[in-house]
Amino acid sequence: MTEALDAIDRAILNRYQGDFPICSRPYQEAAQTLGISEEELIKRLQRMLENRQLSRFGPMYHAERLGGGLSLCAMRIPEAQFDKVADQVNAFPEVAHNYARDHRFNMWFVLATETPERIDSVLQEIEQQTGFPVYNMPKKKEFFIGLKFEV
């Protein structure tokens, strides 16, 4: 970790992973519930963004409701070719994130496309470029989860 979080940082993180106010001065309203000033809240968010402890501060969209496509995909890549294939896959702007995992299926990435139809064509392009099959595992059902990631 780049820099330790103090109690106020944690309170901000635990309170505002959702439900950020939508009003004229939202930082002021949020700061009030946290017992700090608007200016301090803004400064702390800025610092945590710069330290890359936060990925973003803003909306998380529901891709399907925006009319886009979203899917989790997996590949089995021999170790010796892994880095090369990872570069090829990551070069696609539709690849939102990509993790190596310790399994025969060792590459897992999320595809986010502007239309649902585009998922299949990107998959085909990835298969053609890399020479390996892509296993497409789109979400069929989402089970309810509490919102927060507590720090």
- For the segment 19-38, give every residue that binds other proteins (CB under 8 A): 19-20, 22-28, 38
* Cβ at position 128, least distance to other proteins in Å: 20
Ordered DSSP codes for 17-45: SS----SSSHHHHHHHHHTS-HHHHHHHH
- For the segment 42-61, give every residue that binds other proteins (CB under 8 A): 42, 45-46, 49, 51-61
Decide: is 63 part of the binding site for other proteins (CB under 8 A).
yes
Q: Are the beta carbons of 138 and 108 closer than 8 angstroms?
A: no
Question: Which of 51/129 has CB closer to other proteins?
Answer: 51
Options 101, 115, 121, 124; binder of other proteins; rule CB under 8 A: 101
Decide: is 90 part of the binding site for other proteins (CB under 8 A).
yes
- For the segment 117-136, give every residue that binds other proteins (CB under 8 A): 135
Question: Which of 7/145 has CB closer to other proteins?
Answer: 145
CA atoms within 13 A on the CB side of 50: 7
Q: Residue 1 is encoded by which pair of tokens?
A: 């970790």
Indicate the residue type of 97: H
Taking alpha carbons only, the member of 41, 43, 59 closest to residue 51 is: 43
